[in-house]
Amino acid sequence: MKKILILLLNVVFLVGLNAQVTNEQQVISNAGNYSEAGGISLSWTLGETVIATFDNGGLVLTQGFQQPMFLFQGQIVVVPAGWSGISSYVIPNNPAVEDIFADVVDDLVILINGPDVYWPDEGINDIGDWVTHDGYKIKTDAEMVVFFEGMSDPDQVVVLNAGWTIIPVLSPNNVATAALFGPLGSDLIICKEIAGNRVYWAGQGIFDLNFLEPGKAYQIAMNVPGSLDFSGFDALPGPWVSNIELNQLDNTTPWNDVVFTGTSHTIAIDSKALENIPGINYGDYIGVFTQSDICAGLIQYNGSMENVSLAAFSDDATTASMTEGFIPEEYMSFRMYRPATGEEYTLEAEFDVNMPNTDIFAFDGLSKIVDITVTATSVDDLFSLNDVEIYPNPANDRVTINCIGNISNNAELFIYSIEEGKLVKYEKLNNNKVELDISQLAQGVYFVKITDGTNVVVKKLIKHSNAY
């Protein structure tokens, strides 16, 4: 990110420099004059900066702004590689998302606003125009810079629905969450990062999301409708470190690096549950795992006996050939790794049944662990999964599911909608290969889960328009 910002500054400087060293003296004005004496010439323009040109031995020096400078009015947003949230406090002069992202479209994977998406590679654009009062989810192949050219939106109040809302940051400066969310009181359930670990969760006493950054978007859940007013936060930003940098956890475990996808299930871990882990040490890791043994969430114990949160990330619907995280209704298991000794432990978690969710993954789920027991484990204890082929993928109206290996009489197939996490198709599997009619499914991305009661395989299916 620093390299991109330095490059931007250099571009602005060089554009300005090239504009000054030109020999042409073209000025549009309603009055002016030019005189020369003793090798020195003076040109002046009424209402403009005085321009003096010195000529000596073939060298020409022009002082002043005789040629146009590079000028930009709006907001420049640096978007990291991978998933994140994006917003702008600017009303774009040209609001079409295809135009806003035209210069970086090769690195843009997908932009999401509720059920609507802009997905260039798939030729889908349901979003149309950018809305300043909306927050968006975004995925990129590389870090990129987006220019929002226009004027700041004078309306700095964001309307909040009951339930979940993706909010923009309508301020040019970092906004302290304690001051912004304080007026909401108990109406606010939680505010969390998109593709991040940090939350503001007053009900659980977890406040590691200290501020909101301009250019980003966040998810907020409310008990009742409400609003956020950003108009009182015009002070200069404080000396804070970017939340993206704070989320970069050095992984020294034998587990895979977590893929921070655009959707997560947030789990509060009570301090008393941490106290029940024998000999828990500073630097110990706690991870949450899918049934296919993927670490889909990771935190490191910092030595403080306080409530902490753990984000369990969903599978990435835009990568059909690989699995990165959880699908809806998948069981979440937990482990601890101790770098000092290289030991790994299985954690048996007890959940608060009064919370919206427990140990079953849900999009934007909220769970709480109230007790933990520990047993030793080894890699040999972990189960493996059969593979599954899905073809064609993307598909139109029919798709073939081929289970590689033996399946039991308990084999079942589930298809879930990525948009709502709902089960849209279910079948018992009596053969390794089955052909499914998916013509009634809407165009979009789906999770396909196959289980025989012991082994579980999860794949992604992209459904295109029906063939005619």
State which residues form the domain around 217.
74-229
**Residue 8: pLDDT over 60:** no
Domain identity same for 97 and 193: yes
Which residues neighbour 423 within 8 Å (Cβ) at sequence distance 6 or greater? 329, 414, 415, 416
Judgement on whether residues 8 and 51 belong to the same structural domain of the protein: yes
Residues 301 and 402 in one domain: no
Question: What distance lies between CA 377 and its chain's CA centroid?
Answer: 33
In degrees rounded to 5, what are phi and psi of residue 224?
-140, 165
Place of tokens 């900066």: 49
Residue 66, pLDDT > 90, answer no
- Please state the rounded mean pLDDT for residues 406-435: 81
Can you spell out the DSSP letters for 180-235? HHGGGGGGEEEEEETTSS-EEEGGGTEE---EE-TT--EEEEESS-EEEE-TT--S
| pLDDT of 38 strictly over 60 | no
Q: Which whole-number Å values give the CA distances from 425 to 286, 328, 416, 458, 459, in the listed order? A: 34, 14, 7, 14, 14
Residues 321 and 335 in one domain: yes
Residues near 3 by beta carbon (within 8 Å), at least 6 away in sequence: none
Q: Give me the chain's average pLDDT, please.
A: 82
What pLDDT, on the 0 to 100 scale, is given for residue 5? 47
Question: Could you identify the residue written with the tokens 């670490």?
Answer: 295
CA pair distance 236, 56, nearest whole angstrom: 47
Distance separating alpha carbons of residues 330 and 326, to the nearest angstrom: 6
CA distance 49 to 251: 57
| Contact between residue 242 and residue 214 where contact means Cβ atoms under 8 Å apart | no
Q: Is the dihedral of CA 389, 391, 394, 395 positive or negative?
A: negative
Is 239 inside any structural domain? no
In this structure, the answer to whether residues 84 and 140 fall within a common structural domain is yes
Instruction: Give yes or no: residues 150 and 25 share one domain.
Output: no
85 shares its domain with 217: yes
Residue 307, pLDDT score: 95
260 in the same domain as 346: yes
Residue where one domain finishes, among candidates 43, 63, 83: 63
Q: Per the domain annotation, does 182 fall within a domain?
A: yes
In the predicted model, what is the mean pLDDT of residues 157-184? 95
Cβ atoms of 55 and 39 closer than 8 Å: yes
Tell me, yes or no, whether 35 and 145 share the same domain. Answer: no
Q: What percent of the chain has pLDDT over 70?
A: 77
Nearest to 339 by CA among 307, 373, 301, 312: 301
Report yes or no on 68 lying in a domain: no
Query: What pLDDT does 396 receive?
Result: 87
Higher pLDDT, 176 or 61: 176
Structural domain contains residue 396? yes
Q: Are residues 82 and 221 in the same domain?
A: yes
State phi, psi for 324 to the nearest 5 degrees.
-115, -20
Q: Does residue 428 sit within a domain? A: yes
- Residue that finishes a domain, picked among 356, 381, 406: 381
Q: Is residue 243 part of a domain?
A: no
Tokens of 460: 């992604």
Residues 116-122 have a mean pLDDT of 95
Is 421 inside a domain boundary? yes
Q: Which long-range contacts (CB under 8 A, 24 or more apart) does 295-298 make?
A: 295/253, 295/255, 295/256, 295/257, 295/258, 296/258, 296/259, 296/324, 296/325, 296/326, 297/258, 297/264, 297/267, 298/249, 298/251, 298/253, 298/255, 298/258
Convert the pLDDT of each residue in 206-223 to its tens digit. 999 999 999 999 999 999
For the segment 151-173, the average pLDDT, to the nearest whole number, is 96
Other residues' Cβ atoms within 10 Å of the Cβ of residue 57: 6
What is the spatial order of strands in the sheet that 90-92 belongs to?
74-79, 144-152, 90-92
The per-residue pLDDT for 7 is: 44
Contacts of 337 (CB under 8 A, 6+ apart): 253, 254, 255, 284, 285, 287, 343, 344, 345
Q: Are residues 177 and 295 in the same domain?
A: no
Distance CA 247, CA 397 (A): 42
The number of domains in the chain is 4
pLDDT higher than threshold 70 for residue 51:
no
141/184 same-domain check = yes
Q: Which amino acid is at 90?
A: V
